[in-house]
Amino acid sequence: MRNYTTQMDAARKGILTPEIETVAKKEHMSVEKLMQLVAEGKVAICANKNHTCLNPEGVGSMLRTKINVNLGVSRDCKDYDIEMQKVMSAVNLGAEAIMDLSSHGNTQPFRQKLTHECPAMIGTVPVYDSVIHYQRDLATLTAQDFIDVVRLHAEDGVDFVTLHCGITRKTIEQIKKHKRKMNIVSRGGSLVFAWMCMTGEENPFYEHYDEILDICEEYDVTISLGDACRPGCLADATDVCQIEELVRLGELTKRAWDHNVQVMVEGPGHVPLDQVAANMKVQQSICMGAPFYVLGPLVTDIAPGYDHITAAIGGAVAAMSGAAFLCYVTPAEHLALPNVEDTKQGIIASKIAAHAADIAKGIPHARDIDDKMADARRVLDWDAQYACALDPETAKAIRDSRKPEDDHSDTCSMCGKFCAVRSMNKALAGEYIDIL
């Protein structure tokens, strides 16, 4: 029988939950230290009590940087079997979270399949599902309709929900006044904005925030405070609309913590490289150390087809500077719904960024695998190198497709007998070094 509501409530009461114990072991951290961080809101353990197959993870800047994978069907790409292939690929590649952003069809069976079978954290954006669930146009929905969908997702076992609580009626005038290049590029944010414009009412996620907190506390759902005004191009980065919303998200963070509800705060977006670190520091200050969850950030606007690389550059700097959670970006960003291969490329790029940042931050044991790789390369042990690789299959396939000749089969076809490692090993062993 649980005598606590949320992981934060348990930590504040000094109760060691199985989830806190598991995360502490994964992070090489004492349970006492982790419980303190969870109690303070600096670490979120997204773990809905109905997601019983969850392999829990902690999200916080002092822990390993975590990766989220967005997927889900759309009206133009409706195959849920392909989405499950993406889920399996994501879990196998080490993604810690899956967000179902489906915007077509009967979404509940797929969402329930995820929370019954997938060990990764599961997130959703209930405002997307509201139109689909009720099969009614946006303007006909009521505030209560939106709140009821939040409850439905909580009951289904979703671990975190993105809610665009930070934009209000005031934001409508701000957007019109400041004339951003890209206006609002957040899909959920644009829906809330459109609903307010059409109905003349206040943002239901802001106006009825206390009722939402009650739902999240009941099921231990973490709120991911969505940044509706995140910049969608470099020109809009760190502008008045973005920062004003962030200030409101800081206020909403404190209100959630007062209800023992865990919070993550979502961030940009498109940001010039020289502004990334500053964005992280501003968020940490305004939101009191709540975990920061960033999309990229993308450091240039001109790389469609390669935005996984653009985002990895920004993501590495962001995580090194305090971001806790990276939302992957695929080569299909800005172009199409990602396919299975796009998903893989996005995950690998994000994992590289996260790992590089963890090494830079000095996360315990983060560099161990790199040291193992160096040991394997020194002795030209190719199988050991594959075992250390983020994507062993691709590494092996590349080398096997262009194998060296038999008399230097321990090298690769780049250098052959000119291989520096081979020459040094022979020289240090006192052996003759043949080059021709």
Q: Is 11 marked as a binding-site residue?
A: no
70 annotated to bind ligand:
yes
Q: Is 186 annotated as a binding residue?
A: yes
Distance separating alpha carbons of residues 69 and 328, to the nearest angstrom? 6
The response to whether 229 counts as a known ligand-binding position is yes
The two tokens of residue 373 are 């790789």
Q: Which amino acid is at 66?
A: K
Rounded Cα distance between 362 and 320, Å, is: 10
| Residue 415 marked ligand-binding | yes
Q: Is 128 annotated as a binding residue?
A: yes
| 260 marked as part of a ligand binding site | no
228 is in an annotated binding site: yes
Q: Is 51 annotated as a binding residue?
A: no
Q: Is 203 annotated as a binding-site member?
A: no
188 is in an annotated binding site: yes
Give me the helix-helix angle, 340-361 and 80-92, nearest 10°: 30
- Angle of helix 240-258 relative to helix 209-219, nearest 10 degrees, comes to 50
Question: What is the residue type of 96?
Answer: E
305 marked among binding-site residues: no
- Rounded Cα distance, 27 and 369, in Å: 15
Whole-angstrom distance, CA of residue 431 vs CA of residue 238: 60
Does the annotation flag 99 for ligand binding? yes
Q: Is 94 left (phi over 0), alpha (psi -120 to 50) or beta?
A: left
Confirm whether residue 230 is marked as ligand binding: yes
The β-bridge relationship of strands 263-267 and 97-100 is: unpaired
- Is 55 annotated for ligand binding? no
Known binding residues for substrate are 70, 99, 128, 164, 186-188, 227-230, 266, 293
Known binding residues for [4Fe-4S] cluster are 412, 415, 419
Known binding residues are 70, 99, 128, 164, 186-188, 227-230, 266, 270, 293, 334, 412, 415, 419
Known binding residues for Zn(2+) are 270, 334
